[in-house]
A and B are shown apart, each in its own frame.
Chain A
Amino acid sequence: MSRHPDLWGLPAEELARRVRGREVSAAEALESALERTARVEPLIHAYLELFEEAARARARDIDRRVAAGEDPGPLAGVPVALKDNLNLAGHRLTCASRILEGYVAPYTATAVQSLLDAGAVIVGRANMDEFAMGSSCENSAYQKTRNPWDVGTVPGGSSGGPAAAVAAGSAALGFGSDTGGSVRQPAALCGVVGVKPTYGRVSRYGLVAFASSTDQIGPIARGVRDAALATQVIAGPDARDSTCVERPVGDLLATIEDGIAGMRVGVVREIAMALSSPAAPVATAAATSPTELGAAAELDPAGEVAASFRAALAALEQAGAELVPVSIPSLEAAIAVYYVIATSEASANLARFDGVRYGRRSPGAASLAEVYWDSRSEGFGAEVKRRIMLGTFALSSGYYEAYYGKACAVLAQMRDEFTAALGRADVVVTPTTPSAAFRLGEKLADPLAMYLSDTFTTPASLVGLPAVAVPSGFDGQGLPLSLQIMGRPFEEATVFRAARAFERQIGWQVAPRFRGAEVGAA
Chain B
Amino acid sequence: MALTTEEVRKIASLARLRFSPDEEAAIAGQLGKIVDYIDQLQRFEAGPAGAAATGAAALPPLSPVPPAPPIAPRAAPEADDLALPCLPRETFLANAPAALDGFLLVPEVKAGHVPVAKPGVDDEPPS
Q: Which residues does A use to contact B, with CB under 8 Å?
A: 102-104, 106-107, 200, 239, 242-243, 245, 264, 269, 286, 289, 291-292, 295, 324-327, 329-330, 332-333, 335-337, 339-340, 347, 351, 354-361, 365-374, 376-377, 380, 385-386, 388-390, 392-393, 396, 402-403, 406-407, 409-410, 412-413, 415-420, 422-424, 447-448, 451, 463-465, 488-489
Q: List 13 A-B contacts (CB under 8 A).
A: A106-B87, A357-B96, A369-B112, A369-B114, A369-B125, A373-B126, A388-B17, A393-B31, A393-B35, A406-B41, A410-B46, A415-B71, A417-B51
Q: Judging by beta carbons under 8 Å apart, are A336 and B107 in contact?
A: no
Q: Judging by beta carbons under 8 Å apart, are B42 and A373 in contact?
A: no
Q: Judging by beta carbons under 8 Å apart, are B51 and A413 in contact?
A: yes
Residues A367 and B107 in contact in the complex (CB < 8 Å), given A392-B14, A417-B51: yes
Least distance between B7 CB and chain A CB atoms (Å): 8
Identify B15's interface contact among A103, A388, A409, A413, CB under 8 A: A388
Q: Judging by beta carbons under 8 Å apart, are A374 and B106 in contact?
A: no
Which B residues are CB-close (under 8 A) to A103? Answer: 95
Within 8 A of A (CB), among B38-97: 38-42, 44, 46-48, 50-51, 54-56, 58-60, 62, 65, 67-74, 76-77, 79, 87, 91-92, 94-97
Q: How far is A460 from B109 in the complex, measured between Cα atoms in Å? A: 45
Which A residues are CB-close (under 8 A) to B55? Answer: 286, 327, 329
Which B residues are CB-close (under 8 A) to A380? Answer: 17
B104 at the interface (CB under 8 A from A): yes
Interface of A is mostly: helix
Identify B42's interface contact among A239, A368, A402, CB under 8 A: A402
Q: How far is A357 from B99 in the complex, measured between Cα atoms in Å? A: 9
Q: Judging by beta carbons under 8 Å apart, are B38 and A340 in contact?
A: yes
Which B residues are CB-close (under 8 A) to A329? Answer: 51, 54-56
Which B residues are CB-close (under 8 A) to A385? Answer: 15, 17, 19, 27
Q: How far is A408 from B67 in the complex, measured between Cα atoms in Å? A: 25
Identify A366's interface contact among B60, B65, B69, B111, CB under 8 A: B111
Q: How far is A386 from B58 in the complex, measured between Cα atoms in Å? A: 40
Residues A419 and B38 in contact in the complex (CB < 8 Å), given A104-B94, A368-B107, A393-B11: no
Identify B18's interface contact among A335, A359, A374, CB under 8 A: A374
Identify B44's interface contact among A369, A372, A409, CB under 8 A: A409
Q: Judging by beta carbons under 8 Å apart, are A367 and B126 in contact?
A: yes
Q: Judging by beta carbons under 8 Å apart, are A107 and B87 in contact?
A: yes
Q: Judging by beta carbons under 8 Å apart, are A413 and B47 in contact?
A: yes
Identify A354's interface contact among B11, B16, B76, CB under 8 A: B16
Between A and B, how many residue pairs show CB distances below 8 Å? Answer: 210
Flag B98-127 by CB within 8 Å of A: 1 or 0 each: 100000101111111110000001100110
Least distance between A178 CB and chain B CB atoms (Å): 18
Q: Judging by beta carbons under 8 Å apart, are A448 and B42 in contact?
A: no
Which B residues are CB-close (under 8 A) to A102? Answer: 95
Q: Judging by beta carbons under 8 Å apart, are A422 and B68 in contact?
A: yes
Q: Judging by beta carbons under 8 Å apart, are A336 and B126 in contact?
A: no
Flag B4-20 by CB within 8 Å of A: 1 or 0 each: 00001011101111110
Least distance between A347 CB and chain B CB atoms (Å): 6
Chain B CB within 10 A, most for which of A106, A245, A292, A489: A106
Q: How far is A327 from B19 in the complex, measured between Cα atoms in Å? A: 44
Q: Judging by beta carbons under 8 Å apart, are A416 and B51 in contact?
A: yes
Q: Judging by beta carbons under 8 Å apart, are B74 and A377 in contact?
A: no
Which A residues are CB-close (under 8 A) to B31? Answer: 386, 389-390, 393
Which A residues are CB-close (under 8 A) to B92? Answer: 106, 357
Q: How far is A357 from B87 in the complex, measured between Cα atoms in Å? A: 14
Q: Judging by beta carbons under 8 Å apart, are A392 and B15 in contact?
A: yes
Identify B37's interface contact among A239, A351, A389, A448, CB under 8 A: A448
Identify A340's interface contact among B41, B71, B126, CB under 8 A: B41
Which B residues are CB-close (under 8 A) to A359? Answer: 95, 97
Q: Which residue of B lies closest to A360 (CB)?
A: B97
